[in-house]
Structure 1
């Protein structure tokens, strides 16, 4: 348990979630958490009653203060997240998307406790259930267990078990490491967490505490599996560039696997699951360094030398 009260920000991201937002808010307001909670509402110009429902919760719990971001313009999900991260004021930041919900009343307190006890982690995720609306079925993302484990950036590239923002709590200070270019492309939880895991390890609590909803009528849910794989393949070069080529071999290995699955699917073969265990790419020296050592080296290295090394590495890969 937390030894002292900490101030927490919760970033509530919503867009036309009137059918689900009450379930999300009830789960949030039911959290067993002693400290003050800043609720940052990043609504992306909903055209339904989402905002009206959110306002109904004002004043019912003294722990909460509400901060509404401008909702006069539809920004799109990536830029909406950028302004949401920037608007959060407190040391720890949890994210809740308006169509997801939490199933453990201790989610926030357990994640905040974890971050307070593990300086080496800037991100704490939790196991979660995938809820298929058409089948009314809950399936854990990974086998249910207790305790925690640590996840590296390379492991996250091979299998995004963190899965979605609603499972995550961050140190607010870590957002300063997110490059502006990340918000100029389709960049969701996966690449955000990969970038942050370059200089820290991700803590993962193995008990399911969140629910990710698969909408029957959702655009992404209805997208054919092969098209989803192609979309993932298309963003990998940009993700490789965002991480300065440090994980180039890992992204190349993933791209090769995706192309294989896409080809197998198109010729009618049964494609293997992309998330199954794979042989890792050949590691580089950076992969063996503790995250904190990378931080120290980067801090002490002259900028000119750092830029020279980056140019040499890129030139060697282009040969």
Structure 2
């Protein structure tokens, strides 16, 4: 076989059938395998997957040995280590491939673009709570090239379920990467050191946001802060070659509200100034003029210093 699908699951019983159905309807005309890396689910995820064994003569299903809960990073590490085919597609148990041509198009791309070590694709973000689908970027025909520096600036690949890799690239990932909290972003930055990345512009996958998702449970600020915290580690594991790009990203994340310190102080001060101007503008003109003249500048500066200490 030349292709494996690494199915990564953890308590995905509510979604696993949809994920598997989207694999079984792929328009491939050759044998391939599904390698199941289940991270000690406590629901019946494994039982559901077992129901699919033998359903399609093209597809064999191989379960990795049961183990204690490893966490997503170590679970991916053992999954990658278990792959021996030329190509591996990754699918998380709560996501869906929305086109029967996803794998065939990505395989055709990698086989005709030897300069690329990974082929990703555009995708829909599905908010389960709002029942809303949003394209990651507007759909277009064709493809674009990406590299590691572009992924640092904007993780267009977005999630593992969009990815088809050359297995040899995954085998070259630094072992230290899996000592970190490393999701698709870190893995793909490291893979991008080995070659270009192709990105198909048509949405072929669906990334589901739901209450049980590891990343989905974080607030917007927590997501930004999480990114900021791992930057020094990702910089170290990639040998400092992308340091300027990581530094630029850290500046943008702090300005957007990540972490704590000067960025938050600046944001709070700007909000207070805006609120004060708005309040004053709502007053009668004579009262507003008197307030502007009577409030001493030293009081304004003291207020901003107090805000800075509390931020």
The TM-score normalised by the length of structure 2 is 0.82
C-alpha change, 1:72 and 1:32, in structure 2 (3 Å) is: same
The answer to whether the aligner puts 1:61 opposite 2:81 as a matched pair is no
Q: Does the aligned pair in 2 maintain the 1:132–1:216 contact within 8 Å? A: no
Partner residue in 1 for 2:30:
35
Task: Please give the secondary structure, in 1, of the residue aligned with 2:193.
Answer: coil
The answer to whether the aligner puts 1:237 opposite 2:238 as a matched pair is no
Question: In structure 2, what is the Cα distance between the partners aligned to 1:11 and 1:266?
Answer: 43
* Aligned positions of 1:48-197 closer than 5 A: 48-197=43-192
Q: Does the aligned pair in 1 maintain the 2:88–2:166 contact within 8 Å? A: yes
Deviation, 1:268, is 7.9
Task: Report runs of 4+ in structure 1 exceeding 4 Å deviation.
Answer: none
C-alpha change, 1:128 and 1:269, in structure 2 (3 Å) is: farther
Q: Which has the larger radius of gyration?
A: 2
Task: Please give the secondary structure, in 2, of the residue aligned with 1:16.
Answer: coil
C-alpha change, 1:268 and 1:77, in structure 2 (3 Å) is: farther
Of 211, 215, 219, the match for 1:220:
215
C-alpha change, 1:260 and 1:117, in structure 2 (3 Å) is: same
Deviation, 1:89, is 1.8
Q: Does the aligned pair in 1 maintain the 2:80–2:171 contact within 8 Å? A: no
Of 236, 247, 251, the match for 1:252:
247
Task: Please give the secondary structure, in 2, of the residue aligned with 1:12.
Answer: strand
Partner residue in 1 for 2:260:
none
Q: Does the aligned pair in 1 maintain the 2:36–2:62 contact within 8 Å? A: yes
Partner residue in 1 for 2:295:
none
Greater CA drift, 94-103 or 258-267: 258-267
Partner residue in 1 for 2:19:
24
Deviation, 1:156, is 0.7
Deviation, 1:191, is 1.0
Deviation, 1:65, is 1.2
Partner residue in 1 for 2:268:
267
C-alpha change, 1:268 and 1:208, in structure 2 (3 Å) is: farther
C-alpha offsets along residues 105-128 of structure 1, whole Å, 9 cap, x if unaligned? 000100111110011001000000
The answer to whether the aligner puts 1:203 opposite 2:198 as a matched pair is yes
- Which consecutive unaligned segments of at least 5 residues does structure 1 have? 1-5, 271-319
Deviation, 1:173, is 0.7
RMSD: 1.5
- Which consecutive unaligned segments of at least 5 residues does structure 2 have? 258-262, 272-311
Question: In structure 2, what is the Cα distance between the partners aligned to 1:61 and 1:156?
Answer: 37
Question: In structure 2, what is the Cα distance between the partners aligned to 1:198 and 1:220?
Answer: 25
C-alpha change, 1:62 and 1:236, in structure 2 (3 Å) is: same
Q: Does the aligned pair in 1 maintain the 2:81–2:171 contact within 8 Å? A: no
Q: Does the aligned pair in 2 maintain the 1:8–1:35 contact within 8 Å? A: no
Question: How many pairs were matched up?
Answer: 265
Deviation, 1:81, is 0.2
Deviation, 1:71, is 1.8
The TM-score normalised by the length of structure 1 is 0.80
